[in-house]
Structure formats: C-alpha cells, structure tokens
Structure 1
Amino acid sequence: MSKLPDHFLWGGAVAAHQLEGAWQEGGKGVSVADVMTAGRHGVAREITDGVIEGKYYPNHEAIDFYHHYKEDIKLFADMGFKCFRTSIAWTRIFPNGDDAEPNEEGLQFYDDLFDECLKYGIEPVVTLSFGNRI
C-alpha cells in the first residue's frame, strides 16, 4: 500500500485537562486535575485540598491551548490531519457540576474550537471528561 485509504482518519488525540490551561478563565470550575500536583520518578502526584502555594499544578497552564487553539489547529491541518480527538472539560460547561444552565463562555470556547477544526476539514471526535468535579 503506497498511501492510506481516503476514508482513513489520520489525526491526533488530547485530553482537555492536559492541554487547555486557563484553569480559572471563561467561567471554568475547579476539577480534580486542577488540584493535582506534578510528579516525577519516585515522587507520586498528589491531589491536594485546594491549591497550595509552592506546589506546582501543571494543568493550570498546560500548553495554553485555550488561548492558542487557532494556531495549533492550523498546524494540525498543515500535518494533514483529518480528525482531532479531544475531550470537553465538564467543569468548563457546568462549573459547579450541578448548574441548572450551562456556562455560555465554555460552550462558546468549544463551539469556536470545533468551527476552527471544520474550517480546515478536520473532523472533531469528542469525548467528555466527566469524572473531574471536586
């Protein structure tokens, strides 16, 4: 086979808490990932009771996809992506976990993200980060 079939979905996959950053922006609520410290070989990650000064929480900034998704999606298109699998942070849509109405800023972020994918012919494949409300 010299090339992949046209129906093959070449792409990449990420998780909202691993790339978005902007942990306190756009009306987002606190998730388990927001209070999980960094770890390293021999040192386990720790889930803290709130954010503790002096501890490093890697997802607070992550790769700052929240602010740079347009540039990143263009790079995906330049690589020939046909699909992009991402998750939706539940806490960006329902900040308290039991809100009667969704957070409009969170909905708008994902709407804009998916529109940007479609602009480049990239099919969004979406999952839900559901178990992350504290």
Structure 2
Amino acid sequence: MTEFPKGFLWGGATAANQLEGGYREGGKGLSIADALPGGPDRFKIVTQPDFNWSLDEKKYTYPNHRGIDHYHRFKEDIALFAKMGFKCYRFSIAWSRIFPQGDETEPNEAGLKFYDDVIAECLKYDIEPVITISHYEMPLYLAQHYGGWKNKSLIKFYERFADVVLTRYHKQVKYWMT
C-alpha cells in the first residue's frame, strides 16, 4: 500500500454559502447566494429581466438558508473531520458575515468571532485551515445598490474585506485562495 508523502494535506472542502446556514444570525447580511432560489431552473429565474433579488420564501426554496447548519454544528463537524484523518479543511469566509452590506468601514465582530472559533477548532485537532476568501458570493446589497462587479467601487470593498481577514488570521492560517 502506497502512503501519502510527508506533508500531504488530506482533507475536505466546503463553501460558506452552501453549508453554514445561520443566514440571518450573528449580524450576517444577505448574500446573493441567500437570494438565489433552489432547484434546476434557478439560473433561468435569476437571468430574467424582471427577476427581483428578494427573499420571496413563499415562491422559492432556498436550501442554503439551513445548509447543514455548520454555523451551529461546526465543532462536531470538525471533530468528525479529525476522526476521518483530515489534515486540512478548506472553507470559505462569507463576505456578508464580515461586512453585512459590503460597503461598511468596520467589520461585524460577531462574524469574525465565528471564524475565530472555526479556525481554533481546526487547530485543536491539528487540521490546517485553508481559507478561500470569497467563494462566488458577495453581499446582496452590493449587487442591488452598486450593480455588482461591473462597478469599480467593489474593488475597494473587496480589498477591505480581504485585508480584514488576512490581517486577523495571518498567524493561524498558512494557505489562502482568493
């Protein structure tokens, strides 16, 4: 049986907008993923000119609102990762958990505390945290009020977000993805 080479990072990966849940907890703002309906026709729905990026929960289902409830269960999830022999866990940070609207000047401390706790839990089990700064999501407010990435103002908002998380976690996290 062949073994992985020394230093090989065996692990798993998740995206905040797919698994966290807690989409209205801890000061989190809505992201574009929070307003994306579920089901096979979701992209047809959102590309229609009259689509309203709102939370019409009676009309659409939003499976990511609960996800697997990682927001409340991350300790038991990470304990299971350790039991499986994970050496790394690649996860993303929800931009709207750190900057609820995206254009604030000060971050949401409750959102940062959540990721403080996730990172600490990983390190407790010798699991290397690997962070994706943003995984195909942005605060819904930025899409609605600025038009998303077609507005160059988003560059400074993203830089602020990235600077906050890189500064906050640079001592605990060695590996980053934009």
Which TM-score band applies after superposition, normalised by the shorter structure?
Answer: over 0.9
2:18 counterpart letter in structure 1: Q
In the alignment, which residue of structure 1 is the partner of 2:176? Answer: none
Deviation at 1:34, TM superposition (A): 0.4
- Counterpart in 1 of 2:100? 95
Secondary structure of the corresponding residue to residue 96 of structure 2: helix
Structure 1: distance between partners of 2:108 and 2:134: 16
Query: Could you say what secondary structure the match of 2:129 adopts?
Result: strand
2:65 aligned residue (52, 60, 67): 60
Instruction: Give the TM-score taking structure 1 as reference length.
Output: 0.93
**1:117 positional shift:** 0.2
- Report if the CA contact (8 A) 2:36-2:53 is conserved: no
* Shift, 1:44, TM fit: 3.5
**What residue number does 1:37 align with?**
37
* TM-score with structure 2 setting the length: 0.71
Give the letter for the 1:109 counterpart. Answer: F
Which residue in 2 is equivalent to 1:9?
A: 9
Identity rate, percent: 58
Is 1:74 matched with 2:79?
Answer: yes
Q: RMSD of the alignment, in Å?
A: 1.4
Query: Using the alignment, how far apart are the partners of 1:120 and 1:102 within structure 2?
Result: 28
Letter in 1 for 2:6: D
- In the aligned structure 1, how far is the partner of 2:69 from the partner of 2:18? 10
Structure 1 stretches of 4+ with a deviation exceeding 4 A read none
1:53 is displaced (CA, Å) by: 3.2
Shift of 1:5: 1.2
CA shift digits 1:91-121 (9 cap, x unpaired): 0000010111110100000000000000000
Q: Could you report, residue by residue, the CA deviation over 1:44-78 in whole angstroms, capped at 9, with x for unpaired residues?
A: 34444211032101111011000000000000000
The reply on whether 1:120 has 2:125 as its aligned counterpart is: yes
Question: 1:133 — aligned with what?
Answer: 139
Which amino acid in 1 is paired with 2:68? I
Q: Distance in 2 between matches of 1:44 and 1:112?
A: 33
Shift of 1:83: 0.4
SS at the partner of 1:129? coil
